[in-house]
A and B are shown apart, each in its own frame.
Chain A
């Protein structure tokens, strides 16, 4: 069974600070995918990134970066120079590649508040 843990329930930062959201996953599968989604106050989950288990390269997209480390089963998300518009709930999720490979397993989410 898959499990995703986001230990940080809430984080509050001041604008322009860097912030890292932690994600630890558990899976018995050798092939799996990891995701980050953003849920702004409007409600919809917005896809941010997908990473497969064979690709441990870190990724940077503008102010966003992701650090995938299989050795620690972590897939952390860093926002550099945070902005008020980054305020949202962020979800980490996983999915395996076999069997019921459409089931996203979500963490409980981290509420990020960026204050001006």
Chain B
């Protein structure tokens, strides 16, 4: 148990569906992240939030829409995805965004997404 919880663990969705991934942390962290892990590719940083403000959108297509309503919760809203979006989506949090204190990230177990 890392303190970062992601739901659902598995999701199968059609290309016309709309779904949301949820991430929750109660570690008192101020920064939260979404990563995408595809087969045989390095983890890709998608979005970064610090104190509920988005500070990074790493050229992610608009069919992925993040939301951070408070410092404990992070969502990734999905719509009209493509089969190539199938991947493991990992949420992470860290104490803060700047300085040495931020450099240990705690990861959730991920949501395994399959787009059919």
Q: Which residues of A contact B (CB under 8 A)?
A: 4, 33, 35, 37, 42-47, 50, 52, 91, 95, 97, 100-109
Number of residue pairs across A and B with beta carbons under 8 Å?
A: 64
- A-binding residues in B (CB < 8 A): 2, 4, 9, 31, 33, 40-43, 45, 48, 50, 55-56, 88, 90, 92, 94, 97-100, 102-110, 112
Nearest B residue to A47 via CB reads: B104
Known: A100-B56, A102-B48, A106-B42. A45 touches B107 (CB 8 A): yes
A45-B45 Cα distance, complex, nearest whole Å: 14
> Contacts of A102 on B, CB cut-off 8 Å?
31, 33, 48, 50, 55-56, 94, 97-98, 102
User: What are 7 A-B interface contacts by the 8 Å CB criterion?
Assistant: A47-B104, A47-B105, A91-B43, A102-B56, A103-B48, A103-B56, A108-B41
Whether B98 pairs with A44 at a CB distance below 8 angstroms is no
**Least Cβ–Cβ distance between A107 and chain B, in angstroms:** 6
Considering the complex, give the chain B residue whose CB is closest to the CB of A89. Answer: B37
Roughly how many angstroms separate A33 CA and B95 CA in the complex, as a whole number?
Answer: 16
Residues of B within 8 A of A106 (CB): 42-43
Alpha-carbon distance A46/B110, docked complex (angstroms)? 12
- Contact yes or no, A108 B104, CB < 8 A: no
Give Cα distance in the complex from A33 to B2, angstroms.
21
